[in-house]
């Protein structure tokens, strides 16, 4: 009996020592398949917004899917007010591969890398076809919480044939310029 009581007491003490602060808020946005926005070949904004956050720790996930490779750019910014009503501390942005249930954060997902931290975070890189999400975390310390803005854009990565045509065109242009210079030297 005493062993059972001692074990229960130690478990309670251990649980208190390892307690993690609970999130004040969790939110998510799913913009779905962004492939259609990438078919024109232009830089396309596929999402932007302003997110108000309750006071305390928060986590916000931004889900998207694509069936083509692309180069993406993103910006997340803390929008503090002049007074102390809205402010976010420890703002960080991470990119995850959504390998489990699509558009839902779960243990099967893989953290690819941290994009950055601070009041104004920008990042970009090339991603292949797949399911992804950005995780935005921080601590809303304003008296009314915090707010952040986000925007994401992407442009398709040219396929191998496009790169080959571009290289061939640059080669022909280089050849023409060389011939033009050699004619000038002769004349």
Please tell me the distance from the alpha carbon of residue 115 to that of residue 95, in angstroms, as a whole number.
7
Report the residue count for the chain: 187
Tokens coding 184: 């000038």
> Mean pLDDT for each 10-residue chunk of the chain (187 residues)?
41 41 80 76 73 94 88 89 91 94 92 92 89 94 92 75 65 64 58
pLDDT at 15: 40
pLDDT at 4: 43
pLDDT at 43: 62
Residue 21 DSSP label? P
Q: How many helices and strands (H and E) does the chain possess?
A: 2, 9
Please tell me the distance from the alpha carbon of residue 52 to that of residue 71, in angstroms, as a whole number.
28
């Amino acid at each position: 009996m005493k062993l059972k009581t001692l074990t229960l007491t130690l478990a309670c003490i251990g649980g208190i020592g390892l307690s993690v602060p609970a999130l004040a808020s969790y939110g998510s946005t799913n913009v779905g398949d962004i492939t259609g926005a990438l078919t024109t070949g232009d830089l396309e904004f596929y999402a932007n917004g302003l997110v108000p956050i309750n006071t305390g720790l928060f986590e916000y996930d931004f889900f998207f899917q694509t069936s083509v490779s692309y180069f993406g750019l993103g910006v997340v910014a803390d929008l503090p007010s002049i007074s102390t009503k809205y402010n976010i501390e420890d703002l960080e942005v991470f990119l995850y591969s959504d390998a489990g249930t699509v558009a839902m954060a779960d243990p099967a997902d893989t953290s690819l890398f941290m994009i950055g931290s601070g009041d104004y975070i920008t990042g970009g890189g090339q991603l292949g076809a797949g399911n992804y999400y950005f995780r935005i975390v921080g601590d809303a310390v304003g008296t009314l919480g915090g707010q952040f803005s986000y925007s994401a854009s992407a442009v398709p990565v040219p396929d191998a044939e496009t790169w080959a045509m571009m290289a061939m065109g640059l080669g022909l242009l280089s050849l023409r310029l060389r011939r033009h210079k050699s004619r000038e030297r002769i004349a």
